[in-house]
Amino acid sequence: MHELSLCQAIAGVVKPHAEGRRVNVVRVQIGALRQVVPESLEFCWTLVREYEQLADAELELEFIPAAVKCRSCEEDSQIESRWSICCPRCSSPDVEVIRGNEFLVTSLEVA
């Protein structure tokens, strides 16, 4: 369950920026290719936030769909499958991932 280590990493980013203030909301972008189970991440956050003295901090997740640029047909396309990153237009595996690898704390709401 790598979601637990991801939550620990989130807390490690949040605490220094909070500077001792109470954190109400932590907003995180997660790309579709990160293989994160949202329910598991949210559960792990409830464990980590207690341990890290962030008990009031809610986790808001924004999921970013995956997109690729095909080197064969030069098409930019959103991909639906987390298991295949071939071009949806021409089926070429020669693609560059342009979106979907994100894992980023985007903002905090503090008191």
HEC string of the chain equals CCHHHHHHHHHHHHHHHHCCCCEEEEEEEEEHHHCCCHHHHHHHHHHHHHHCCCCCCEEEEEEECEEEEECCCCCEEEECCCCCCCCCCCCCCCEEEEECCCEEEEEEEEC
HEC string of 22-45 equals CEEEEEEEEEHHHCCCHHHHHHHH
Q: Is 17 annotated as a binding residue?
A: no
Q: Is 7 annotated as a binding residue?
A: no
Q: Is 44 annotated as a binding residue?
A: no
Q: Is 86 annotated as a binding residue?
A: no
- Going by the annotation, the residues of the binding site for Ni(2+) are 2
**Residue stretches of the annotated binding site:** 2, 70, 73, 87, 90
Annotated binding-site ranges for Zn(2+):
70, 73, 87, 90
